[in-house]
């Protein structure tokens, strides 16, 4: 029983650490790091709502919309 509790606590600690690292990496995505609007659209749909500064539903409006890349 004691091993089960220890393994559960270690698992929760590892899960918490991975969530914190994931959130830290998400804060670095800005319009300056993206080179086309289709990438911004995909990231916006994946939950990066801060890419839309004026809250009109169009992220990174100043970027070109290239399908080539």
The full length of the chain comes to: 69
Which tokens belong to 67? 């399908």
Residue 40 contacts residue 59 (beta carbons within 8 Å): yes
What local confidence, expressed as pLDDT, does residue 9 receive?
92
Identify each DSSP E strand in the chain by its residue range. none
Which tokens belong to 69? 């890349």
Q: What is the pLDDT of residues 52-68, one digit of tens each?
A: 888 898 888 888 776 65
What local confidence, expressed as pLDDT, does residue 25 receive?
56
Sequence-ordered list of residues with C-beta below 8 angstroms from that of 48, at least 6 positions apart, any chain: 26, 29, 59
Q: What is the pLDDT of residues 5-50, one digit of tens each?
A: 999 999 988 888 777 656 655 556 888 888 888 888 888 888 888 8
């Amino acid at each position: 029983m004691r091993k089960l509790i220890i393994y559960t606590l270690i698992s929760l600690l590892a899960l918490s650490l991975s969530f914190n690292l994931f959130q830290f990496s998400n804060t670095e995505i800005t319009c300056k790091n993206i080179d086309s609007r289709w990438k911004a659209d995909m990231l916006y749909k994946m939950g990066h709502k801060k890419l839309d500064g004026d809250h009109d539903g169009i992220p990174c409006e100043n970027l070109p919309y290239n399908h080539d890349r």
